[in-house]
Amino acid sequence: MRKAVLFVCLLILLLAPAGLASAAPALDSFTISGTSPHRVMSCTPIYLDENGCEEGTYFVKSQGDVSGYFDGTFTMKEWGTFTLSASVLPWPFSINGYELAGTNHGKLEIQTSDGKVFIRWEGTTTFFPGVLGSWEIHHGNGAYRGLEGGGMYYTPPVDPSPWEFKVQFDPFGP
């Protein structure tokens, strides 16, 4: 019996460092890039308010690629509110003579060869500089089971295009 207990203890000591080495590395930055649908999947009727601004809500689905800490693909559901006001500013500060201000919220599902991770976010949006807000990992599976963290997301400087987008996700400190 003592030999069996000694063997189990020795086995635990040998396998413990291997288990630690296989843990996921510390969360780091990642970028999503994709194409927004040319039509909004769902939208309230736009109306003119007392300030001459058009307002409404939106819901869109997008997909694309992920690079950085996560390397794979994503699907995204995004929703929020918007206000359009007349503008004389050129693109990317306005589009079709309107400036944009609003909120955005969403759920991001990232698929890699190591598993899936699910992220939630909320923030603000404008035509320029784009989106800005905070994000948090909701849950994961595979190699991402138990992964925790969150940070800030924003639109990095890129060549402007009305339908293509990139969003940078940076984690909070260590």
Phi/psi of residue 15, each to 5°?
A: -85, -25
Q: Is the residue at 17 inside a domain?
A: no
Residue listed under structure tokens 């203890």: 9
Is the torsion defined by CA of 142, 143, 149, 154 positive or negative? negative
Task: Answer whether residue 50 shows pLDDT above 60.
Answer: no
Q: Is the residue at 6 inside a domain?
A: no
Count of domains forming the chain = 1
Give me the pLDDT at residue 75, please. 93
- This model's pTM is above 0.85: no
Q: Is the residue at 9 inside a domain?
A: no
Question: What is each CA distance from 84 to 24, 69, 123, 125, in whole angstroms?
Answer: 43, 35, 17, 12
Residue numbers of the domain that contains 59: 29-171
Task: Answer whether residue 22 shows pLDDT above 50.
Answer: no
Residue type, position 37, single letter = P
Burial of 14 (0-12, 13-18, 19+ CB in 10 A): exposed
Whichever domain contains 116, its CATH number is 2.40.350
User: What's the chain's average pLDDT?
Assistant: 77
Q: Is the residue at 130 inside a domain?
A: yes
| Residue 140 host element (H or E) | strand 131-140
Give me the pLDDT at residue 42, please. 52
Q: Is the residue at 24 inside a domain?
A: no
CB distance 69 to 35 below 8 Å: no
Burial of 138 (0-12, 13-18, 19+ CB in 10 A): middle
Tens digit of each residue's pLDDT (9 = 90 or more) over 114-144: 999 999 999 998 766 678 999 999 999 999 9
Higher pLDDT, 45 or 135: 135
Q: Is the residue at 38 inside a domain?
A: yes
Give me the pLDDT at residue 18, please. 42
Residue type, position 88, single letter = V
Tens digit of each residue's pLDDT (9 = 90 or more) over 60-99: 888 999 999 999 999 999 888 877 777 777 766 666 677 7
Give me the pLDDT at residue 23, please. 57
Q: Is the residue at 8 inside a domain?
A: no
